[in-house]
Chains A and B, each alone.
Chain A
Amino acid sequence: MRTIALVAGAVFKESVRDRVPYSMVAFAVLLIAASYLISQLTAGQDLKIIKDLGLAAISWFGLAIAIFIGIGLVSKEVERRSVYALLSKPITRGQFILGKYAGLVFTLVVNLSAMTVAFAAVLAYVDAVTAAGVKAGWPAPALDPRLLVAVVLTIAELMIVTAIALFFSTFSSPLLAALLTFGLWVAGHFNQDFRNFEVVLDVAPAVWLGRALYFLLPNLASFNLRAEVVHGIDVPARAVLLSLAYAAVYISILLVASVAVFRRRDFK
Chain B
Amino acid sequence: MAAAVGSRQAGVRPSNARLLAALPLLFAAVVGLQVMRDRDRRPYEPPASALWFRSGDAVKRMALGFDNVLADLYWMRAVVYYGGQRLQTTATPNYDLLDPLLDLVTTLDPRFNVAYRFGAIFLAEAYPNGPGRPDLAIALLQRGIERTGRWEYMHDIGFIHYWWLREFPKAAEWFERAAEVPGSPAWLKPLAATTLAVGGDRRSSRLMWQQLLESSDSEWLRGNAEFRLKQLDAMDLIDSLNVAAEQHAARLGRVAQSWQTLAPALGLRGVPLDPAGVPLVINPTTGRIGLAADSPLQPLPDEPPPASAPAPARPQL
Does B36 make an interface contact (CB < 8 A)? no
Task: Count residues of chain B with CB under 8 A from any CB of chain A.
Answer: 26
Q: How far apart are B115's CB and chain A's nearest CB, in angstroms?
A: 8
Does A144 make an interface contact (CB < 8 A)? no
Interface residues of B (CB under 8 A from A): 61, 64-69, 71-72, 75-76, 79-80, 109, 111-114, 117-118, 216-221
Residues of A within 8 A of B65 (CB): 59, 189, 220-221, 224, 226
Is chain B's interface secondary structure helix, strand, loop, or mixed overall?
helix
Take A41-B76, A44-B114 as given contacts and tell me if A227 and B218 are in contact as well, using a CB distance cutoff of 8 Å: no
Q: Interface size bucket, A side?
A: 20 to 34
What is the chain B residue whose CB lies nearest that of A39? Answer: B72
Docked pose: A59 CA to B71 CA in angstroms: 17
Closest 3 CB pairs of A and B: A137-B217, A44-B114, A224-B65
Does A53 make an interface contact (CB < 8 A)? yes
What is the chain A residue whose CB lies nearest that of B108? Answer: A227
Is chain A's interface secondary structure helix, strand, loop, or mixed overall?
helix
Please determine whether B68 and A44 come into contact, CB atoms closer than 8 angstroms.
no
Residues of B within 8 A of A186 (CB): 64
Does A13 make an interface contact (CB < 8 A)? no
Most buried by B among A52, A59, A136, A230: A52
Take A43-B118, A227-B109, A231-B111 as given contacts and tell me if A56 and B218 are in contact as well, using a CB distance cutoff of 8 Å: no
Docked pose: A134 CA to B221 CA in angstroms: 12
Docked pose: A136 CA to B112 CA in angstroms: 17
Please determine whether A230 and B68 come into contact, CB atoms closer than 8 angstroms.
yes
Please determine whether A49 and B72 come into contact, CB atoms closer than 8 angstroms.
yes
**26 A-B residue pairs with CB within 8 Å:** A41-B80, A42-B75, A42-B79, A42-B114, A44-B117, A44-B118, A44-B219, A45-B114, A49-B72, A52-B68, A52-B69, A56-B66, A56-B68, A59-B66, A134-B217, A134-B219, A136-B217, A137-B216, A137-B218, A186-B64, A190-B61, A220-B65, A226-B68, A227-B67, A231-B111, A233-B111
Please determine whether B118 and A48 come into contact, CB atoms closer than 8 angstroms.
no
Docked pose: A53 CA to B217 CA in angstroms: 22
Most buried by B among A220, A230, A231, A233: A231
Q: How far apart are A146's CB and chain B's nearest CB, in angstroms?
A: 15
Docked pose: A179 CA to B190 CA in angstroms: 63
What is the chain B residue whose CB lies nearest that of A133? Answer: B217
